[in-house]
Amino acid sequence: MTSETPASEPVLVARGITKSFGGALALRGASLAIEAGESHALLGENGAGKSTLVRILAGVLAPDQGELRLAGHPVRFRGPAEAQAAGISVIYQEPSLFPDLSIAENVLIGHMPRARFGTIDRAAAASRVAGMLGDLGVPLPPRRPVRGLSIAAQQVVEIAKALSNRARVLIMDEPTAALTTEECERLFAVVRSLRARGVAVLFITHRLEEAFAECQRFTILRDGALAASGPREAFAPAEVVRRMVGRPLDQLYPQRSSRTGDELLAVTGLTRAGSYEDVHFRVRAGEIVALAGLVGAGRSEVLRGIFGIDPRDRGSVRVAGCVVAPADPRAAMRAGLALVPEDRRQQGLVLALSIIRNATLAVPRAVRHFGLVSRRREGAVTRLWAARLQLKAHRLSDPVGTLSGGNQQKVVLGKWLATAPRVLLIDEPTRGIDVGAKAELHRRLAELRDHGLAIVMVSSDLPEVLGMADRILVMREGRLVGELRGADATEETVMLHATGQQDGARTLAAVPA
């Protein structure tokens, strides 16, 4: 089949897969072949059908047409249990943990170690899971419940869960979206060792550099059909993007800020015990400031504190000179703040409501007509943002839960951008969003900035931070430890500050007090 490994039969083959949901065709004759000992990247725009294909390989969905072959034999899974028994292990794009069960139970669900009389051996389970989490570099206590874990920690638990049953095919649907560089590195190290043992890995990501660094073979889907497939060497990055999007794409970051205006946001001495301490910074109109740092550095917490979702212990927030009441998101919204949260599925969407309803939830005024919700206005607001963010949806009246993961993200973004804020706090703006829409979103943010918006952005995507930010504030363990000019910063300087390997004192002087 390939020039490199002519003899080997692919472990898992999907051929001519078609799947439709009601009227919408999610997959039309898609094919895929994964080989043992190889990492295989599955690429495509938001809504291209990647997760649908994953769910078919995992036995969650049955294909309308097409066949699956496992190690050369045709298979038909009647449920996820059968696929698991056949050695296929999956990390799904949507969180699929049990908040009330312990980390150890989540990881080992379905194959807990047994003690005498068939009871669960909790001690053995805990030590096994502690070992696995240690290998992933995130030593979480195995007996604590999953509820309340950060998204990154939850993702690590999902990864451990997928690794726990020694599968021969490991499928990962955007596992790195919620992780920082360092944690991704650990994941890839684990994946490499699995590959060396002959495990076949299918890896979905919107970060092309990850695909190029870690995968030997690419398959690209467009609109549910196979657009291209072949060894990595056959593709240049621009070629991958062209295949995904169907046209060449200009991926340059927009121009940096040309002129800044009045100070719009002033954060002074913001403190919340255990999360962040004594955070000072100012943002002017027409400026994008990025908060950089490792997961757990407290960046998202600072945004939540400014917006008033969590109470704070000390410090003040002023928007255009006026003090904003603490712990009162409504007051923050009135003052002109908007927060696009990190955990968009849980904090940003009502999955059972329509796309239109979700998109206009934050702007009840704009869609009212004589006090009643006007469908026409709702539709108009939604269509505007849907077009700007290239939302791929069957109908805008469909429940938001039927959208692909990346398209759900776009709905949340549109919802907050529609509030026309003066200061936009945005957490991981392009997580899970495809390259085309990402470039578009970057242009939108730059445009908003040029219209005088002040933007504070938290992003774990370093190239994005370097490409977009006018100023970069680096956080470590809840404190601001450095400030860099966006134009001068490099990945190295940011990481050195973030990990504390540089003498932070010198740059700390640059932070306005």
Q: Where do contacts with Mg ion occur on this chain (CB under 5 A)?
A: 51, 93, 404-405
* Whole-angstrom distance, CA of residue 441 vs CA of residue 426: 12
CB of 66 to another protein, least distance (A): 21
Binder among 286, 298, 326, 406 for ligand ATP (CB under 6 A):
406
Nearest-CB residue for ligand ATP: 406
Task: Select the residue interacting with ligand ATP from 133, 285, 400, 403 (CB under 6 A).
Answer: 403
Query: Is 101 an interacting residue with respect to another protein (CB under 8 A)?
Result: yes
Cβ proximity to ligand ATP, 405 vs 421, nearer residue: 405
Considering the rule CB under 6 A, would residue 405 count as an interface residue with ligand ATP?
A: yes
126 near another protein, judged by CB under 8 A: yes
- Contact (CB, 8 A) for 221 and 42: yes
Distance between CA atoms of residues 140 and 157, nearest Å: 9
Nearer to ligand ATP, 53 or 418 (CB): 53
52's contact among another protein, Mg ion, ligand ATP, none, with CB below 5 to 8 A by partner kind, is: ligand ATP
By the 8 A CB rule, do 319 and 346 touch?
A: no
Candidates 247-255, 402-410, 420-428, 441-449: pick the segment binding ligand ATP (CB under 6 A): 402-410
Distance CA 171, CA 406 (A): 18
Q: Pull the structure tokens for residue 378.
A: 């709702």
Sheet of 225-231, strands arranged across: 88-91, 169-173, 200-204, 39-44, 217-222, 225-231
Contacting residue, 44, 63, 315, 478, with ligand ATP by CB under 6 A: 44
| End-to-end Cα, the chain, rounded Å | 63
Toward another protein, which CB reaches closer, 111 or 259?
111
How many chain residues are in contact with ligand ATP, going by CB under 6 A? 21
Contact in structure between 460 and 284 (CB atoms under 8 Å): no
Q: Give the residue, chosen from 4, 9, 29, 98, that forms a contact with another protein under the rule CB under 8 A.
A: 98
State the minimum distance, in angstroms, from the CB of residue 351 to ligand ATP.
Answer: 11
Residue from 109, 331, 353, 361 binding another protein (CB under 8 A): 109
Closest residue by Cα to residue 336 from 429, 400, 424: 424
Angle of CA points 9, 12, 15, to nearest 5°: 100
Alpha helices in 335-455 (DSSP H): 344-348, 355-359, 375-388, 405-417, 435-450
392 lies in the site for ligand ATP, by CB under 6 A:
yes
CB 475 within 8 A of CB 293: yes
Q: How far is the CB of 300 from ligand ATP (least distance, A)?
A: 22
Q: Which residues contact 307 (CB under 8 A, 6 or more apart)?
A: 329, 332, 337, 339, 425
Stretch of 63-71, 123-131, 180-188, 375-383 lying at the interface with another protein (CB under 8 A): 123-131
What secondary structure letter does DSSP report for 166? -
Q: At what angle do helices 435-450 and 237-245 cross, to 10 degrees?
A: 90
With CB cut-offs between 5 and 8 Å by kind, which of another protein, Mg ion, ligand ATP, none does residue 110 bind?
A: another protein
The residues of the shown chain that bind ligand ATP, judged by CB under 6 A, are 21, 24, 26, 44, 46-52, 93, 392, 394, 402-407, 434
Binding site for another protein (CB under 8 A): 58, 60, 79-81, 83-85, 90, 92, 94-102, 105, 109-110, 112-114, 118-120, 123-124, 126-128, 130-131, 134, 139, 141-145, 147-150, 153, 273-275, 295-301, 342, 477-478
